[in-house]
Amino acid sequence: MAVPEGPLVVGVDSSTQSTKALVVDVPTGRTVASGRAAHTVAGRGGARESDPEEWWRALGEALRGCGAAVRRAAAISVAGQQHGLVTLDGRGRPVRPAVLWNDVRSAPQSERLVERLGGPKAWAERIGVVPGASFTVSKWMWLREHEPDAAAASRAVRLPHDFLTERLTGRAVTDRGDASGTGWWASATGTYDTEVLGLAGLSPALLPEVMDPFEAVGTVRELPGLPLPTGALVAPGTGDNAAAALGLGLRSGQPVLSLGTSGTVFTTSSHPRADPTGTVAGFADARGGWLPLACTLNCTQAVDRIAALLGTDREAVEPGGREVLLPFLDGERTPRLPHAAGLLYGMRHDTTPGRLLQAAYDGAVYALLDALGKVVAQDVGGDAPLLLIGGGAQGAAWLGTVRRLSGRAVRVPKARELVALGAAAQAAGVLTGEDPAQVARRWGTADGQAYDPLPVDQGALDRIAGVLAGGDALLHAESP
């Protein structure tokens, strides 16, 4: 493939399990090269950790996989998995492995934090989120209580995308979109909240500067083995969900359902959200607006695990069953059930593996659609088409389940790597001065196959709702 003559930018998606890099032509949005490298996630029970140095090595490998095109890049932006706690020593090296977003060991700390600031309503109105086990502030408290030596040795606290951006530029920076997922950045003031930091026992001196979303934060340093041009502009980067919103060129109120390792539902909004139930996080976006969002821990990975246990292909679903399977294999964030386990109800002699697998899809999608209703309640009418993204969006079983349970029109964008494309759009915006969302619209990233609404399977929704209510004691059980 010939490399275009126009300026090129690099968009990076450093996710839970891999790093993807795209080299994109700014005038056309064409991906001219791509690279990928895997990560390792370790941990048992509620623990999920990764070595940040592996992210750095993976970034280099993914960039080298892009070939000669990456050496012409004029700008780069890194988007990363949200919430992860990265602790660094005085030389910028990790003190310990990063505690990832889906590590739920800090559930007790999150509950104490909520109480100490005055309850969920106070958190929602002041910070924009009610911290659960996923949020960085809870993870820092867990570290201080369980590994005090590691906390004391920390001279810097970063998010995953901050760590990589700082390695590229030598500058300690973040953006408001990712900062809003920590629990210590206040949406009400747009600053770090000193009272929350005091409750968590974290000095603000350990945190990066929060940058304007439209300015370059530095340039690429001379880094041996990294094939980027020295002096290329570096954009602020952001969290993965905010990057996906940029990658879609999302307009206010357009609903999105993302099917990945986790499941997320979000939209963009011109006003902040404060949900005292904690279901909807009032995140900031990467453009100066807002990104109300709800997240479930158990999505494609949990359903794939059920398929593996059943010994069936992930697409081998059978309709017509009355079984209910709630695939809460890692606890759950939405609904707020950090100690929950999977729950199966309604097996009979005629139950088949295909029906159980369909029930797992139904349980995962039910949780997402219930959250979606809360996310979009203030921003969009019920008949707006739903943008379905993420790896699961390419699966017939996921698509069919979303259509059958939502009753919405659905559109599946052709663009696959929307987080990396969103980072590329941000890099292009920093390079040219154009609004990155407008860049993505010009690239046509949200174009794709449209599907008409299907009648809602109300029976399935009612069965799941009934089991969720009736299984309350089991779902709230403490972990062993």
The catalytic residue positions are 240
Q: How far apart are CA 422 and CA 79, in angstroms?
A: 8
Cβ-proximal residues to 437 (8 Å cutoff; 6+ apart), any chain: 245, 246, 249, 250, 251, 287, 425
Residue type, 378: Q
Q: Which residue has the tokens 């979000």?
A: 266
Please choose, from the candidates 79, 76, 58, 80, the residue with its C-alpha nearest in 3D space to the C-alpha of residue 230: 76
> How many of the other CB atoms lie within 10 Å of CB of 308?
10
Q: Are 239 and 354 in contact (CB under 8 A)?
A: no
Q: Are 303 and 314 in contact (CB under 8 A)?
A: yes
Q: For residue 276, give both structure tokens.
A: 């005292």
Length of the chain: 480
Measure Cα distances from 102 to 83, 93, 133, 145 in Å: 9, 23, 8, 19
Q: For residue 398, give both structure tokens.
A: 């996921």
Q: How far apart are CA 120 and CA 324, in angstroms?
A: 31
Q: For residue 223, report the phi and psi dihedrals to the nearest 5 degrees.
A: -125, 110
Q: For residue 296, report the phi and psi dihedrals to the nearest 5 degrees.
A: -110, 145
DSSP result, 173-225:
EEEHHHHTTSSSEETTTTEE-HHHHHHHT--GGGSPEEEPTTS--EE----TT
Q: Which residue has the tokens 């607006």?
A: 289
Measure Cα distances from 151 to 203, 205, 368 in Å: 11, 14, 35
Q: For residue 20, give both structure tokens.
A: 């993807």
Q: Where are the alpha helices (DSSP H) in 254-342?
A: 300-310
Please choose, from the candidates 359, 97, 58, the residue with its C-alpha nearest in 3D space to the C-alpha of residue 226: 58
Measure Cα distances from 285 to 20, 186, 214, 313, 422 in Å: 21, 14, 12, 37, 12
Q: Residues 175, 181, 182, CA angle at the centre, nearest 5°? A: 95
The SS3 assignment for 382 reads coil
